[in-house]
Amino acid sequence: MDDAATRDGDNRGSRSIRALEVVEAVIDADGPVTMAALADATGLPRASLHRIVGLLTDEGFLRTEPGGRGLIGGPRLLRLARRTQASAPAMGHRHGILAVVAREVGETFNIAVPAGDGMRYHDRVETEWPLRHQLPIGSQVPLHCTASGKLYLSSLPRRERDKLLSVLPLERHTPKTMTTAAELGPALDEIRRTRCGVDDEEFIDGMVALAVPITDGKGRMIAALAFHAPRVRMSLQQARAFLPVVRRAAAAMSEDPQDQDQDP
């Protein structure tokens, strides 16, 4: 009996583990992953790998990158990731940090995650000031004119970022909104350098915001920790003074590389 037949003759649990290993390899890749790279990463025979990938694609856990260069996470996998992030105890731990940093800075803080062509508010702690901008949990905000959205755009490989900017509706929300890729490019390059997203009244008149990345064990952005304040109470320069505090909170929410599973 050949190796492929032996592996395919394993019990259902073993096949499930192999499917999870394929998903893990796709997630761990820095971009679209080819079948050849998947075979190298998982050690699976090509026939078995093609069957597993076909099933995962049919079920929405994987999909082919629009440019056809390889496989990326599908909509069902992305929904699962968001639900996992929202579950306790991780959510309780992050919410506790969110509450502490919101009290320290005195303004509204949120955790935002990428969601299609925008960022969705995943968790939120409101300021105690009566003057505030109401954007409840579940709200989705644009990528091109928000601190967390621009931070996410800046984290993408240049080719992927440019492709996304070419299809995004770059709508004007205020006189300061940047509405062309030519305008956004240098701003995103600066955000990538500083790892700090900024919104200087670009989304809502009279509101400034800052965002820093929450990362996985490999240092990749999985969410943004952001705060915003009315311009009459805090300038963008004043907001920047809180960056060390915000970065410490984001680091405490991020995954520790030492907690990642190690190969035996």
Same fold, 3-74 and 87-258: no
Whether pLDDT at 65 is above 90:
no
Please, which pLDDT band fits residue 251 given cuts at 50, 70 and 90? very high
Q: How many CB atoms sit inside 10 A of residue 139's CB?
A: 14
Cβ atoms of 174 and 205 closer than 8 Å: yes
CA distance 175 to 196: 22
Mean pLDDT of 114-139: 83
* In the chain, domain spans: 3-74, 87-258
Which has more confidence, 65 or 141? 141
Fold of the domain spanning 3-74: Arc Repressor Mutant, subunit A (1.10.10)
234: CB partners within 8 A, 6+ apart: 107, 208
Structure confidence at residue 8 (pLDDT): 44
pLDDT tens for each residue of 6-39: 444 444 447 788 888 888 888 777 678 889 888 8
Cβ atoms of 62 and 34 closer than 8 Å: no
Please, which pLDDT band fits residue 4 given cuts at 50, 70 and 90? very low
Structure confidence at residue 28 (pLDDT): 79
Fold of the domain spanning 87-258: Beta-Lactamase (3.30.450)
Structure confidence at residue 88 (pLDDT): 47
Which has more confidence, 139 or 193? 193
Structure confidence at residue 60 (pLDDT): 86
Whether pLDDT at 68 is above 80:
no
Mean pLDDT of 151-162: 93
Look-up: residue for tokens 């995650």? 113
Please, which pLDDT band fits residue 261 given cuts at 50, 70 and 90? very low
Structure confidence at residue 97 (pLDDT): 93
Structure confidence at residue 258 (pLDDT): 52
Which has more confidence, 228 or 60? 228
Please, which pLDDT band fits residue 139 given cuts at 50, 70 and 90? confident
Strands (E), 85-172: 108-115, 118-125, 140-142
Which has more confidence, 238 or 90? 238
Structure confidence at residue 262 (pLDDT): 39
Structure confidence at residue 234 (pLDDT): 95
CA distance 186 to 253: 29
Structure confidence at residue 91 (pLDDT): 59
Structure confidence at residue 62 (pLDDT): 87
Structure confidence at residue 206 (pLDDT): 94
Structure confidence at residue 92 (pLDDT): 66
pLDDT tens for each residue of 174-210: 999 999 999 999 999 999 999 999 999 999 999 999 9
